[in-house]
Structure 1
Amino acid sequence: MPSSRPIQATDNGGEDAIDVALMHRIAEGDERAFRELVERHQNAVVGTVARMLNDPAEAEDIAQLAFLRVWKHAKRWRPDAKFTTYLFTITRNLVYNESRRRSRRKEVSTDEREEDSGFQMAAEARLEPREEALKLEMHEQIDRAIATLPEAQRTAVILYSYESLPYEEIAVVLKTSVSSVKSLLFRARTTLRERLAGYMAE
C-alpha cells in the first residue's frame, strides 16, 4: 500500500529526491502523491507556459496537460535526469505543439498580460503610483521583447532567468549542447538589449 506520509527535504539538494520519491508513489497509483507533486511545481509550469506563449489564458490548460502526461507515464519514468528537467521537457513539447498549431491557423494572441511576471527584483520600498506604473510597464516591455525571440532562445531565457535551471538541464530540455545553450542565451540577451535600449534610455 503506497505511503501517504509527506516527504521533506533535508537540504537544498534534496528537492529532486522528493520528486523522485513522489514519482515512485505515483507509479503505484498514489493520487495523494500526484496532488503533492502538482502543488510543488504548478506555479513554475504555469508561469513558464504563460511566458513562452505570451498568453496566460492558455497556461493553466497546457500545465494541466503536462501533469496528466506525468501521471500517465509515471510507471515508465526513470530518474535518468532531474525530475524538473523531465517536467520542463514535457512542457516545452506541449508549448511547441501549441505554437505550431497557432502558426498553421495564423492565430495571434493580442491579450495583455493580466499579472506582473517580470524579472526577479530586490525588495523595494513602497512606491508612488507613478513609479508602480512605470515598474509594471517595464516588466510588460520585457515580457513582450522576450515573446518576440525565436522559440529556442525564448525557452532558454525563461528557463534560465525565471526558473533558475542550470545550463546542463536546459540543454536536456532543448535537446542540444551546453555550449549551444550559452550561445542561445548570449544572442537572446543581445537582442533584448537592442530592443529595450530606447525604452531604457527614457
Structure 2
Amino acid sequence: MITERALMRRVAEGDAQAFTELVSRYSARLLTFAWRLLGNRADAEDAVQRALMRCYTSATRYRPDWAVSTWLYRITTNICVDELRRRTSRSALRRAAESEAGNGQAVLLPAGDGGPAGPGRHLDLRRALARVPREARVLLALRYVDGLSYQELARVRGISLNTVKSQLARGKSILRAALKGRGRRRAPAQAAAAVTTKGAER
C-alpha cells in the first residue's frame, strides 16, 4: 500500500485518483471527530467536506515532516472551532433578543443546533463539558476519543507541549468537579465522547 506521504505528493501533483484514496482513508475518522465536536451529522459532514477540499487546494503546502493524519486533524479542528465560535455568537444574539422581549410575546429565532437530550448520564456529561473551555474540550476529544499523542495535539493546535498538558489537566479538573457535584465520576474518555449527541454514538 502506498504511504500517506507518497499519497500526498501525488495529490499535490493533481492526481485525482490519489485524492480519492486519501478521502477513502480518512473521511470516516474525520467525520467521527467532527461529529463529536459539533454534535450533529449535517454540520460534521460539511466540516469534513471543507477540510478535505482545503487539503486538496493546499496540498502543495504540505510538509512531509507532518503525519498526513495530523495535518488533516489540524485543518478539521480549525474548521470545527470556527463553527463553534459562530454558534456562540448566535447564542449570544438569541439571549439578547429574548431579553428584549418585554411584552411577553415569544421571540422567533432559529432553533438550536443540538438535538433532544439523551439519557441522564449523557445530559450530565454534556452540561459538564459545556463548562470546559473550548480549547480544552477540543483537546479532550482528540486525546481520549481519537487517541492522539501529546506531541500530535501540540501540532494539531499549534501550541506548546506544556500548554497541551496544562489545558488537558485543567479540562479534566473542571469535568471532575462538575460531575462530582452530580454524583458521577466518569473517565476522561467517556466524558470526551459525550461531546456528541446520543445519536452520534458508535
Query: Do structure 1's residue 188 and structure 2's residue 176 form an aligned pair?
Result: no
Structure 1 residue 148: Cα displacement:
4.0
Query: Do structure 1's residue 200 and structure 2's residue 199 form an aligned pair?
Result: no
**Unmatched segments (≥5 aa) in structure 1:** 1-5, 8-17, 115-135
Map of 1:34 onto structure 2: 19
Task: Name which of 111, 133, 140 aligns with 2:115.
Answer: 111
Structure 2 CA distance for partners of 1:148 and 1:54, relative to 1, 3 Å: farther
Give me the TM-score of the superposition, normalised by structure 2.
0.72
**Unmatched segments (≥5 aa) in structure 2:** 95-111, 186-202
Query: Do structure 1's residue 93 and structure 2's residue 114 form an aligned pair?
Result: no
1:1-202 matched pairs, under 5 angstroms: 6-7=1-2, 18-106=3-91, 108-112=112-116, 138=121, 141-197=124-180, 198-200=182-184
Q: Please tell me the residue identity of whatever aligns with 1:26.
A: V
CA distance in 2, matches of 1:58, 1:177: 29
Map of 1:3 onto structure 2: none
Q: Please tell me the residue identity of whatever aligns with 2:39.
A: N
Instruction: Determine which structure has greater relative contact order: mean sequence separation of CA pairs < 8 Å that are 6+ residues apart, divided by chain length.
Output: 2
CA distance in 1, matches of 2:117, 2:26: 21
Structure 1 residue 81: Cα displacement:
1.7
CA distance in 1, matches of 2:71, 2:12: 15
Structure 1 residue 104: Cα displacement:
2.5
Structure 2 CA distance for partners of 1:98 and 1:19, relative to 1, 3 Å: same
How many residue pairs align between the two structures?
A: 165
Check the 8 A contact 2:131/2:174 in 1, yes or no: no
Structure 2 CA distance for partners of 1:144 and 1:23, relative to 1, 3 Å: farther
Please report the RMSD computed on the Cα atoms of aligned residues, expressed in angstroms.
Answer: 2.3
CA distance in 2, matches of 1:199, 1:19: 45
Check the 8 A contact 1:54/1:144 in 2, yes or no: no
Check the 8 A contact 2:34/2:80 in 1, yes or no: yes
Structure 2 CA distance for partners of 1:74 and 1:158, relative to 1, 3 Å: same
Give me the TM-score of the superposition, normalised by structure 1.
0.72
SS of the residue corresponding to residue 50 of structure 1 reads helix
Structure 1 residue 181: Cα displacement:
0.7
Aligned-pair identity in percent equals 36
Q: Which runs of 4+ in 1 moved over 4 A?
A: none
Structure 2 CA distance for partners of 1:153 and 1:30, relative to 1, 3 Å: same
After superposition, what is the alpha-carbon deviation per residue over 1:36-69, rounded to whole angstroms, capped at 9, x for unaligned?
2112111221122122223333101111100011
